Amino acid sequence: MKKAPAVKRTSSSRPSGKTIKEYIGNVPKEARSAFENLRAVVKSAVPKEAEEVISYGIPALRMKKVIVWYAAFSDHTSLFPTAAIVVAFQGELKGYTTSKGTVQFPLDKRLPTALIKKMVKARVEQI
């Protein structure tokens, strides 16, 4: 698994918000389209009763507990499907920066929607 480089995050590199609407409003312009795409893919892979919330300062989808988290940064979007899911899909994640529980998707690459759906559905099955 390729480790994400240690980067000091500032308020400008990761948006924040107390509500989903506020969070999206704070997503950097260059990342907004990619983030909206990631958000739509993730939402399409969870049961309809999943609720979108802010958890740890970023958007998440939860039922009884959080299924996955997702976020936008100035140069990538991230999916946080838990460490077990990242390990389970490590063979399919070659070419993406990963760390314990996180996958980064660069803004200049096409989002792997089918893979993201598989990971999210696997996480739903875990719960």
* CATH number, residue 119: 3.90.1150.200
Q: CA gyration radius for the chain?
A: 13
Q: What is the pLDDT of residues 9-30, one digit of tens each?
A: 333 355 666 889 999 998 989 9
Burial label, 97 (beta-carbon count in 10 A; 0-12, 13-18, 19+): middle
Write out the residue range of the structural domain in which residue 71 sits: 20-126
Mapped onto helix, strand or coil, the DSSP state of residue 44 is helix
Residue 75 lies in a domain: yes
Residue type, 121: K
Residue 59 lies in a domain: yes
Cross-strand partners of 80: 69
Residue 5 lies in a domain: no
**Would you state the structure tokens that stand for residue 51, as one six-digit string?**
């609720």
Q: Which helix (DSSP H) or strand (DSSP E) does residue 115 occupy?
A: helix 113-126
Residue 47 lies in a domain: yes
* Residue 7 pLDDT: 34
Residue 118 lies in a domain: yes
* Residue 8 pLDDT: 34
**Would you state the structure tokens that stand for residue 110, as one six-digit string?**
């096409």
Q: What is the pLDDT of residues 48-75, one digit of tens each?
A: 999 999 999 899 999 989 999 999 998 9
pTM of the predicted protein model:
0.83
Q: What is the pLDDT of residues 71-123, one digit of tens each?
A: 999 899 999 999 999 999 999 999 999 999 999 999 999 999 999 999 999 99
- The single-letter DSSP state of residue 69 is E
Q: How far apart are the first and last CA of the chain?
A: 24
